[in-house]
Amino acid sequence: MNRFAFATVSTLAVAAASSVVAEPQAEVLHWWTSGGEAKSVAVLQEEFASNGGTWTDMPVAGGGGDAAMTALRARVLAGNAPAAVQLKGPAIQEWYEEGVLADISSVAEAEGWAEVLPASIAGHMKCEGTWCAAPVNVHRVDWIWANADVLAANGIEMPTTWEEFNAAADKLQAAGVIPLAHGGQAWQDATVFETVVLGIGGPEFFQKALVDLDPEALTSDTMVQVFDQMRTLRGYVDENFSGRDWNLATAMVMNGEAAFQIMGDWAKGEFLAAGKKPGEDFLCASTPGDGYLYNVDSFAMFDVEGDDKKAGQDLLAKLIVAPNFQKVFNLNKGSIPARTDVALDDFDICANLSAKDMGATSDAGSLLPSYAHGMALRGSQSGAITDVVTAHFNSDMSSADAVQQLADAVANSY
């Protein structure tokens, strides 16, 4: 081959190489490792692969994400962050403040996320105005679940006020039924507590007390009433509640040992997995009062080097919020789509109620972040509140003392 021909071939080879589109690659760190969760994330893996992407799975089990965060910090410190990480709430902003998150606004704007996501939920996905995370779903926290047969046998309707709940619980207790299935773990105590705050105080009070941490709200007569109701609820729980896992409490409702459980809609997955039908075998309703407490799973995108990894990030973000994945994933997970334009024909009556209420509360300004599930507060403030709630629930502490301890704990948590 002469020198001219060799140069021509070389030029063509370089041109061809430079025109090759980067193959999307994404290493994904998450803690969806069990049952329906693993099945749900597998759906995303399949979609990613079918769009030409190479997915590297990095599941880290245990601790509700604590172990995953430890692994993430080590990777970030080593300068080798995964492309996408399961994060939510203020944790997204905390990582942004460390300067390690990527800007995925081009994807969000091209896909019209702002038009299909409730404003308050979209707010969690933005970092100083730019999009840095993609929402997967919405779990409603303020649910009450009930055994339909137990309620019917005792002539009880689903309660719509805390007074009605207490009256029903007294009747059930007299009939030898445990009124409230509960697991004595700190996060479960916090879950019940925030539904009582919402139900007794209303959405505006919830915002002031558990989002803004307003001292007047924390020390108010309304907060005293909240702790009074918590004390009443403590009397409706069986003696063996301490340390019980949430799904075992759900099983108590399923087998008729208990009548009610206050828990997010992941509890529905337990009923469905056992072949129970909503509206027939078990009932669902929002806990007494107005408003909606949400827990949103999402993936934050971290700064990565290389066109292939950036292409993988963009593809992943696009697929996560796309209607097909939002539908298939949430049918598996028991939650509802974060986007409001997904058809819910294949979803059960509890999911349809959740979606309807999410839309109504978004319009009314009462769609609120769950403090108990890491959506409203940073860890130190959230932990300070939960410590007081659990101490009160497991002792004879007066409501007045609890309120004072609550205000002090929050003040000292900064």
pTM: 0.89
- Asked if 317 contacts 301 with a C-beta cutoff of 8 angstroms, the reply is yes
Q: Bridge-partner residues for 368, per DSSP?
A: 293
Sign of dihedral through CA atoms 234, 238, 239, 245? negative
Tokens representing 58? 């990095």
Predicted confidence at residue 241, as pLDDT, reads 97
190 vs 213: CA distance, rounded Å: 15
- Listing DSSP states for 233-285 in one string gives HHTTB-TT-BT--HHHHHHHHHTTSEEEEE--THHHHHHHHTT--BTTTEEEE
Q: Which domains does the chain have, with CATH numbers?
A: 23-139+296-354 (3.40.190.10), 140-294+363-411 (3.40.190.10)
* Residue 408 CA, distance from chain mean position: 28
Question: Strand pairing of 130-131 and 126-127?
Answer: antiparallel
193 vs 206: CA distance, rounded Å: 11
Phi, psi (degrees; rounded to nearest 5) at 413: -90, -5
81 vs 305: CA distance, rounded Å: 10
Per-residue pLDDT tens digits of the chain, which is 414 residues long: 554 444 444 444 444 444 456 799 999 999 888 777 788 888 899 999 999 999 999 999 875 678 899 999 999 999 999 999 999 999 999 999 999 999 999 999 999 999 999 999 999 999 999 999 999 999 999 999 999 999 999 999 999 999 999 999 999 999 999 999 999 999 999 999 999 999 999 999 999 999 999 999 999 999 999 999 999 999 999 999 999 999 999 999 999 999 999 999 999 988 988 999 999 999 999 999 999 999 999 999 999 999 999 999 999 999 999 999 999 989 888 899 999 999 999 999 999 999 999 999 999 999 999 999 999 999 899 999 999 999 999 999 999 999 999 999 999 999
